[in-house]
Amino acid sequence: MSKSAIEGRQRVIEAAAAMLASHGLRGISIREVIKFANAPLGSTYHNFPNGKQQIVTEAVQWAGEQASAQLQACLAQDKENGIQLFLQQWRKRLTKSEFRHGCPIVAAAIEASEEEDAEPVKQAVSTVFAHWQQLLTTHLISLGHAASYAQSLAVAVIACIEGAVVLCRGQQNIAPFDAIIECIPAMLAAKQA
C-alpha cells in the first residue's frame, strides 16, 4: 500500500469522525465524507471492504482514542483540577463551533442502536465509553474515593458531560455546560455514597 493511500485512508476516518459529530450517523454519506477528505471514491471498498459500517466503526474508535488522550493529558497535568481542565477544553470547543460540533460517539450510539449490520459500530461505542469510565475511575480512586463509588462517579460525570453537550446543541447556548461545570464539583466533593 502506497504512502499516499494510507494517508488518504486516515483522512477518510478523520473526516467521518468530524462529520459524525455534526451531522450524525445517517446524516453523512460515503460520497460526502470522501469529498470532504479529498479522497477517491473509487477506492472506498478497497480501503474499507465492509463499506460505511467499517468507516463509521473506525471513526468511532479514532475519535474515542482522541478524547481519551485529551482526558488523560488533563488529568496528568493537574491531578486536583484535571476534570475541570477537561471541561473547559470542551466548553471552548462547543462555543467555537457555535454548538454544531457534538460528540461523535453519542451520535453513533443513538443512531446505530436499531440498525441492522451495525454490531461492530455498537461494539466500538461500548468499548469507547468503557475506556473513558475506566480512565476516570482510576483517577478518582487516586484522589481518595472508595473504589465502588468512584466507578459510579466516573459514569455520572461522563453522563453529565454528554448530556450537557446535547442540551447546548438543542438550545444553541453554552449555559447548560456552565451549569454542569458549576455542579459537578458538588458530586466530586462527596467522598462516599
- Contact residues for a copy of itself (CB under 8 A)? 22-27, 99-100, 102, 105-107, 109-111, 113-115, 122, 125-126, 129-130, 149, 151-156, 158-164, 166-167, 169-172, 175-176, 178-180, 182-184, 186-187, 189-190, 193
Distance in angstroms (rounded) separating the CA atoms of residues 98 and 88: 15
Query: Between residue 91 and residue 120, which ones bind DNA under the rule CB under 7 A?
Result: 117
The least CB distance from residue 154 to DNA, in Å, is: 34
Select from 14, 22, 24, 30 the one that contacts DNA (CB under 7 A). Answer: 30
Percentages (nearest 5) of helix, strand, coil residues in the chain: 75, 0, 25
112: DSSP letter: S
192 binds DNA (CB under 7 A): no
29 binds DNA (CB under 7 A): yes
101: DSSP letter: -
The x, y and z cell numbers of residue 128, run together, are 469507547
Distance in angstroms (rounded) separating the CA atoms of residues 22 and 190: 35
28 binds DNA (CB under 7 A): yes
- Write phi, then psi, for 34 (nearest 5 degrees): -60, -40
Hey, is 91 helix, strand or coil? helix
Among 36-44, 125-133, 134-142, 167-175, the segment contacting DNA (CB under 7 A): 36-44
Residues at the interface with DNA (CB under 7 A)? 1-6, 8, 28-32, 40-47, 50-53, 117
